[in-house]
Copies of this chain bind each other. A is one copy, B any other.
Amino acid sequence: MAKELEFLTKRSEDYSKWYNELVIKADLAEQSDVRGCMVIKPYGYAIWEKMQRTLDDMFKETGVQNAYFPLLIPKSFLSKEAEHVEGFAKECAVVTHYRLKTNDTHDGVVVDPAARLEEELIIRPTSETIIWNTFKNWIHSYRDLPLLVNQWCNVMRWEMRTRLFLRTSEFLWQEGHTAHATREEAEERAQMMLKVYAKFAEECMAVPVIQGVKSETERFAGALDTYTIEAMMQDGKALQSGTSHFLGQNFGKAFEVQFLNKDNQAEYAWATSWGVSTRLMGALIMTHSDDNGLVLPPALAPTQVVIIPIAKPEQLSAINEKAEALMAQLKALGISVKYDNADNKRPGFKFADYELKGIPVRLVLGARDLEKGLVEVMRRDTLEKENMPLEGLAEKVKALLDDIQKNIYEKARKFRDEHIYECDNYEEFKERVKDGGFFLCHWDGTAETEAQIKEETQATIRCVPFGVEQTPGVDMVSGKPAKARVLIARSY
């Protein structure tokens, strides 16, 4: 789409504005005319598709199968699990009628009052209720377990303040729902899926994450435990990037899902659920991108390499030929590549546009360089340029893509690690948390202290992190004894 290339606000000037502009200018998504709902544009959707494909394969490797459950949930289902209804009834889209009719002035349509539903239907904010209502008919014996199901779908939670990808009323996600014969097996599955998410975030998105368990206050409505992966954005704020819930027998009891165990005794099934959403797009963008635009990990870039010729019209056909050969070599190595020899845009415009779009590697075929057998290679992550021989270039580009994938992960990890602080003084915490960062602080385990921290600093307990050597201490707020340090940060 032909438009003048506009420059981005710098991150250092206004990080939030930079993000909003980048999402729009890189053609990832835009607000629709429907309050809080976004349009995911083709370029943004292509990245999401790559995420989906990778995650879907990872789920299937663990034995999960996809299925599809209804969009609409009867209102009464929500009330069956006491905590769940508290968490989700307050922000949902309610379908009350099933027909429109022509208005009296014959210039529009109005709701037909005769078509009122007996029971209102809710657009799913999450599907535990409708799925466990279905599982009731699928689960009779321990032989039917475990039941490992996932669905890719849209969900809706009515949000007052929305931001593209980070918080929208409608979003796309996957929600996994599993049923098990034992508590241990369900807990193991909930943790297994957290590890799948962490592996995906780190290896595919190149986003380092901290794994941990949520405090009671921050748990999913209806869960006994919520596990989370937390990523640090470049402004030092946390972004919860995926959660996996151990739901105990709450939904088994609410929907009467019982099975006969090996001793022929009836038991309630144990549950997990776990999800990641288009919010991951926000994490991806905010972890790697810079003032020139997107930086994409090669594993998720819809186009990994762009080739741009610089030549006089009479030189172009010779260069086209060399480009075709190079493209064939790159494609043979499984690399996605685009050749842009459009003559209605200047090279400088193209350079800026592909930087904005985050194409990992740019190759410039210049007539003069080519005479010497050389190609200019630029890597998007560092913006470094180097002349390389055309001979054997494809293999070098492949190695470069691997290097970029590793490099942006390492860069993000280093940034994250430099902004994790142990802190034992609440006054100091209150001051420093304004500048972002993750704080490891002793917590007395009470909801009161947690609420006070949130109230006074807008920071929340992100999780009790796994894999951190814990020593008992003193809660920095209450002065009471604390068993462990928790991760506290402001968050998206």
- Please list the residues of chain A having a beta carbon within 8 angstroms of any beta carbon in chain B: 1-2, 30, 32-34, 37-42, 45-46, 49, 65-76, 78-79, 85, 89-102, 107-109, 111, 120-123, 130, 133-134, 137-138, 140-141, 143-144, 149, 153-154, 156, 158, 170, 172, 344
Which B residues are in CB contact (< 8 Å) with A75? 100, 108-109, 111
Neighbour of A65 across the interface among B46, B140, B172, CB < 8 A: B46
Q: Is the CB of A45 within 8 A of B70?
A: no
- Chain B residue numbers with a CB within 8 Å of A93 are 72, 95, 97-98, 121
Distance between Cα atoms of A470 and B45 in the complex (Å): 46
Chain B residue contacts of A111, Cβ below 8 A = 75, 94, 96, 120
Grouping DSSP codes into helix (H, G, I), strand (E, B) and loop, the A interface class, with mixed when no group exceeds half, is: mixed
Across the interface, do B33 and A133 meet the contact criterion of CB distance under 8 Å?
A: yes
Number of copies of this chain that the complex holds: 2
Which residue from B42, B69, B92, B170 sits with its C-beta under 8 Å from A32? B69
Decide: A89 and B109 in contact? CB cutoff 8 A. yes
**Does B91 lie within 8 Å of A99, measured CB to CB?**
yes
A70 with B32: CB separation less than 8 A: yes
On whether the beta carbons of A42 and B149 are closer than 8 Å, the reply is yes
Q: Which residues of chain B are near A100, meaning CB under 8 Å?
A: 75, 78, 89-90, 92, 94, 122
Given contact pairs A1-B140, A40-B68, enumerate 14 new A-B contacts (beta carbons under 8 Å).
A32-B70, A34-B74, A37-B71, A39-B69, A42-B66, A42-B67, A71-B123, A71-B154, A71-B156, A75-B109, A94-B97, A95-B96, A96-B97, A96-B111
Among A98, A102, A133, residue most surrounded by chain B Cβ atoms (within 10 Å): A98
Q: Verify A99–B90 contact, CB threshold 8 A.
A: yes
* Cβ contact within 8 Å between A158 and B99: yes
Inter-chain contacts of A172 with B (CB < 8 A): 68
Closest chain B CB from A247 CB (angstroms)? 20
**Bound complex: CA of A91 vs CA of B107, how far in Å?**
19
Q: Are A123 and B149 in touch, CB under 8 angstroms? A: no
Which of B45, B67, B71, B123 is within 8 Å of A66, CB to CB? B45
- Which of B68, B94, B107, B154 sits near A95, CB closer than 8 Å? B94
Which residue of chain B has its CB nearest to the CB of A70?
Answer: B37
What's the Cα separation between A121 and B93 when bound, in Å? 9
A122 to B196, CA, bound (A): 37
